[in-house]
């Protein structure tokens, strides 16, 4: 029996650029929008809902709606950092189900490489943000915040650098087949451990790449999906959560996935054993390890053992992940990895991933995003998707 769902992903597009010296950010948004609409066989005149986050220039979605000439009756500019686009998939499904729109467009784009934005700087969201006075003087760049989570996880659960390295090794095995991936060389655990230490215990190869580019998704009603055809992918479940420092009751060994995951699984009505493929936001290796534990793919604290020995490598392990090479090897448009996680999950469910990494008979996939920092506060989002006949 086929599962009912309230909305489908009909179009998905990843921008081929990795360094966009000759394009503006609005232009990149429009290019990914066009790509996803062409993929769905729709036009911009079909779009009546638009979803974007803080990377879209202007006030919410207003400026981009004007730039692209969209005629909208539903907008949503929820901002949860790199996980925003996973949230948008869920919100778009809800909006479509509620009749608020019938064709929803989600876009992400940016060009931090072309603009030379350093990630070793302290990310400052503005002087009015209440935490900033008590953190920015201490030099919290993104890497050392995630590193503190890794350090505590190692202390508490015995997780090792070798185990974290396996996450990068698996990503590199997939990236070798992706001609657009920034890092295509297959690496070993030793390569990761021998790469320069950036912030203890994270080495250079524990960190994702910096890239320009973007991506877009088109989400439609079941009626439109039926007309478009079997490449449409079912949106079965969605969960989102914010996790923060809780007034000083700090625990960096888990993420917001402890909430977003169960909500998504419950709505989808599937179990972990049903999931054939996962896209897990991989800003750093530790992000993947904590997310997999929190999503329930292994017992808390045993993520290190779970990811070791190639368990995340397609065709080798039990849980193939990030078969495009992920943020660790492929790309990380505008330092926001949620969009590309959903796109690769769509490829897998369509059977359109690279043949060397395509999961056979891929029926159910999970995409998970983490925005902000697991070392402080984050927006976590999970979607569970199904093949058209799932």
Partner 1 sequence: MSGGERTYPDPVINLETERFWAAARDGVLLLKKCRACGATHYYPRAICPHCLSGDTEWVAASGKGRIYTYSVMRRVEKPFAIAYVTLEEGVTIMTNLVECDLDRIAIGQAVEVTFRTTEGGHALPVFRPTSGAAR
The residue ranges that bind partner 1 (CB under 8 A) are 120, 122, 127-128, 130-141, 143-145, 147-152, 155, 196-202, 245-250, 252, 376
Closer residue to partner 1 in complex, CB, 98/117: 117
Cβ distance to partner 1 smaller for residue 50 or 157: 157
* Closest CB 245 distance from partner 1, rounded Å: 8
* CA–CA separation, 275 and 141 (whole Å): 34
CA distances from 207 to 272, 282, 327, 380 (A): 27, 8, 8, 19
Nearer to partner 1, 29 or 332 (CB): 332
CA 381 – CA 369 distance, rounded (Å): 5
Spatial distance between the Cα atoms of 28 and 339, rounded to a whole number of angstroms: 14
Minimum distance between the CB of residue 216 and partner 1, rounded to whole angstroms? Answer: 34
Closest of 108, 116, 113 to residue 20, by C-alpha: 113
Give least dist CB 20 to partner 1, A: 26
Burial of 47 (0-12, 13-18, 19+ CB in 10 A): buried
Closest approach of Cβ 118 to partner 1, in Å?
A: 11
Closest distance of CB 281 from partner 1, Å: 20
In the bound state with partner 1, the residue whose beta carbon lies nearer, of 250 and 316, is: 250
Instruction: For residues 86 and 369, give the distance between their C-alpha atoms in angstroms, rounded to a whole number.
Output: 6
Question: Nearest Cα to 33, choosing from 135, 115, 107?
Answer: 107
Is the CB of 204 or the CB of 226 nearer to partner 1?
Answer: 204
Q: Minimal distance in Å, beta carbon 319 to partner 1?
A: 27
Classify the phi-psi angles of 216: left when phi > 0, otherwise alpha if psi is within -120 to 50, otherwise beta.
Answer: beta
Residue number, 192 or 383, with CB nearest to partner 1:
192
């Amino acid at each position: 029996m086929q599962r009912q769902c309230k909305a489908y992903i009909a179009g998905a597009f990843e921008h081929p650029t990795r360094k966009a010296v000759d394009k503006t950010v609005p232009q990149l948004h429009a290019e990914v929008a066009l790509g996803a609409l062409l993929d769905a066989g729709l036009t911009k005149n079909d779009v009546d809902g638009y979803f974007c986050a803080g990377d879209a220039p202007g006030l919410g979605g207003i400026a981009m709606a004007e730039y692209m000439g969209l005629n909208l009756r539903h907008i949503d500019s929820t901002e949860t950092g790199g996980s925003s686009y996973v949230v948008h998939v869920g919100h778009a499904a809800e909006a479509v189900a509620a009749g608020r729109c019938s064709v929803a467009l989600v876009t992400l784009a940016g060009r931090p490489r072309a603009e030379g934005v350093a990630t070793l700087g302290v990310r400052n969201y503005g002087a009015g943000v209440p935490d900033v006075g008590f953190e920015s003087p201490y030099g919290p760049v993104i890497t050392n915040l995630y590193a503190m989570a890794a350090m505590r996880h190692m202390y508490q659960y015995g997780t090792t650098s070798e185990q974290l390295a396996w996450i990068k090794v698996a990503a590199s095995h997939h990236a070798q087949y992706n001609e657009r991936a920034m890092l295509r060389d297959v690496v070993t655990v030793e390569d990761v451990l021998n790469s320069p230490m950036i912030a203890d215990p994270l080495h250079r190869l524990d960190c994702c790449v910096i890239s320009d580019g973007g991506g877009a998704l088109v989400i439609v009603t079941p009626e439109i999906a039926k007309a478009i055809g079997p490449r449409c992918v079912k949106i079965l479940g969605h969960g989102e959560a914010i996790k923060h420092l809780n007034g000083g009751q700090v625990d960096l060994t888990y993420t917001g996935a402890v909430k977003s995951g169960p909500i998504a699984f419950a709505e989808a009505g599937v179990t972990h054993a049903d999931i054939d493929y996962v896209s897990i936001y991989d800003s750093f290796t530790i992000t993947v390890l904590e997310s997999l534990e929190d999503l329930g793919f292994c017992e808390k604290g045993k993520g290190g053992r779970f990811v070791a020995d190639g368990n995340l490598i397609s065709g080798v392990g039990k849980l193939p992940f990030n078969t495009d090479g992920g943020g660790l090897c492929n790309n990380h448009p505008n330092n926001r990895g949620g969009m590309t996680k959903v796109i690769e999950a769509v490829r897998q469910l369509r059977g359109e991933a690279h043949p060397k990494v395509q999961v056979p008979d891929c029926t159910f996939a999970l995409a998970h995003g983490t925005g902000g920092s697991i070392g402080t506060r984050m927006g976590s989002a999970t979607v569970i998707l199904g093949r058209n006949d799932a």
